[in-house]
Amino acid sequence: MTSKRVLLKRAEEQFLRKEYDNALKIYSLLLRDYPQMKDARVGVFLSDMGMESDEDAQALFDYYQAIKNSDEDAEKIIDELMQTIYATRVV
């Protein structure tokens, strides 16, 4: 069995290559086995977003990577930013 760190790294690499379908699959596998894994949860949301808005997803991914170890509410912050972005697109 592949370790969760290896899978997470693989998912992040796919995301950064803008291979959002592949990243989404790997993040989903991680969530199936580790439902409380914050990085996987954020990765699923951002991969889904990347299929519609590449630039926004990449920017939020970079921001999440920068704050995830220093801010315990990083997942909540990213979720709120994503909701704001989606709300501004729905007209």
pLDDT tens-digit map of 5-57: 999 999 999 999 999 999 999 999 999 999 999 899 999 999 999 999 899 89
The confidence score (pLDDT) of residue 69 equals 84
Distance CA 52, CA 75 (A): 20
Residue 49: what residue type?
A: M
The confidence score (pLDDT) of residue 17 equals 97
The confidence score (pLDDT) of residue 37 equals 92
The confidence score (pLDDT) of residue 78 equals 83
For the residues 60-78, what does the mean pLDDT come to? Answer: 86
